[in-house]
Amino acid sequence: MTSVAIVGAAECDLGITNKSILTLQAQAITRALADAGLNLSDVDGLATTGTGRFPATQLGDYLGLQPRWTESTFAGGSAYEIMVGRAVQAIEAGKASTVVVSFASNQRSARSRKLGGVVEEHTPEAQFEQPYDVLHPISYYAMAARQYLHRYGGTRAQLAEVAVAAREWALLNPAAFRHDAGPLTVDDVLTAPMVSSPLTVADCCLVTDGGGAVVLTSLDRARDLPKKPVRVLGYGERSTNMSMTLVRDLTTTGAREAAADAFAMAGITLADIDVLQVYDSFTITVALTLEAMGFCGPGEALDFIAGGRIRPGGALPLNTSGGGLSYCHPGQFGILLLVEAVRQLRGECGKRQVPDATIAVAHGTGGIFSTHATVVLGVEA
- Dihedral angle over CA of 80, 28, 170, 145, nearest 10: -30
- Dihedral angle over CA of 358, 361, 362, 365, nearest 10: -170
CA angle 256, 257, 262 (to 5 degrees): 105
Q: What is the CA radius of gyration of the chain?
A: 19
Are 8 and 38 a contacting pair, CB within 8 Å?
Answer: yes
Amino acid at 375: V
The fraction of the chain above a pLDDT of 70, given in percent, is: 96
Are 275 and 354 a contacting pair, CB within 8 Å?
Answer: yes
Q: Please tell me whether residue 292 adopts helix, strand or coil conformation.
A: helix
DSSP-derived secondary structure for 326-348 = HT---S--HHHHHHHHHHHHHT-
Crossing angle for the helix pair 255-266 and 283-293, nearest 10 degrees?
50
Q: Which residues pair with 215 in a beta bridge?
A: 8, 100
Residue 287 CB-half CA count within 13 A: 33
- The residues spanned by each domain of the chain are 4-112+209-227, 134-206+235-378
Crossing angle for the helix pair 79-92 and 334-346, nearest 10 degrees?
60
Rounded to whole angstroms, the Cα distance separating 43 from 33 reads 9
- 222-277 tens-digit pLDDT: 999 999 999 999 999 999 998 787 888 999 999 999 999 999 999 999 999 999 99
The domain defined by 4-112+209-227 carries CATH number 3.40.47.10: yes
Query: Residue 118 above 80 pLDDT?
Result: no
Residues in the chain: 381
Rounded to whole angstroms, the Cα distance separating 56 from 346 reads 29
Q: Which residues of 332-346 are buried (b: 16+ CB within 10 A; e: fewer)?
A: bbbbbbbbbbbbbbb
Matching CATH topology for 4-112+209-227 and 134-206+235-378? Answer: yes
- 164-203 tens-digit pLDDT: 999 999 999 999 999 999 999 999 999 999 999 999 999 9
Query: Residue 321 above 90 pLDDT?
Result: yes
CATH of domain 134-206+235-378: 3.40.47.10
- 62-75 tens-digit pLDDT: 999 999 999 999 99
Catalytic residue numbers read 279, 327
Helix ranges (H only) for the chain are 21-36, 55-63, 79-92, 124-128, 138-152, 156-170, 186-191, 219-222, 255-266, 283-293, 301-304, 323-326, 334-346
Query: Residue 361 above 90 pLDDT?
Result: yes
